[in-house]
Each structure stands twice: as C-alpha cells, then as structure tokens.
Amino acid sequence: MIKTSDLRRLDVVSVEEGRYLGSVCDVDLDPETGRINALIVDEVRPFSFFFGARHTDVEVPWRDIVLVGADVILVKNRTWKR
C-alpha cells in the first residue's frame, strides 16, 4: 500500500517520450471513496531556464499512471488540464 505522502515529490516521467515532466506536488482524493482521482504535477516547462523558471500545475488522471516506483512515477503521454 502506498501513502499519499509517499507520492509527494516523486519525479514524473512520460513513458512514450522518456521526458521528465516534473514532480508530484499534490494529490486529488475522492472524499467519499478515499481513492486517488489525479496527481497534481508541478510541471517544468522546457527551456524555462533561459527566461526564469516557469512552473505549471498539471492534473494527471490516475488512469494515466502506468507505474508507481520507489523513485519515479511513469505516466502515459497525454494532454492534461493545466
């Protein structure tokens, strides 16, 4: 069993692109069932280091999670809500 606190700050990587997307900053839970609806990822935009760090919170639905490992979460590559 995984605690939601263990998910925070894990790196999130796209399986299809092998690209680092960001790290988990929050978890969206269903209050009635206690199930995870989505992970909120603090996404780092490419090339943002040239213009100052640009972070965007992205909601990744739980159905798009492929694997939760000890150090990384693998996700399907899709367009998610910002």
Domains and CATH numbers, the chain: 4-75 (2.30.30.240)
Strands 36-44 and 55-61 turn out to be antiparallel
- Region label for 70, one of left (φ > 0), alpha (ψ between -120 and 50) or beta (otherwise): alpha
Q: How far is it, in rounded angstroms, from Cα 69 to Cα 82?
A: 24
Q: Who has greater pLDDT, 50 or 20?
A: 20
Q: How confident is the model at residue 69 (pLDDT cuts 50, 70, 90)?
A: very high
- Identify whether the C-beta of residue 49 lies closer than 8 Å to the C-beta of residue 41: no
Count other C-beta atoms under 10 Å from residue 51's C-beta.
Answer: 8
pLDDT value of residue 50: 59
Q: What is the pTM of this model?
A: 0.80
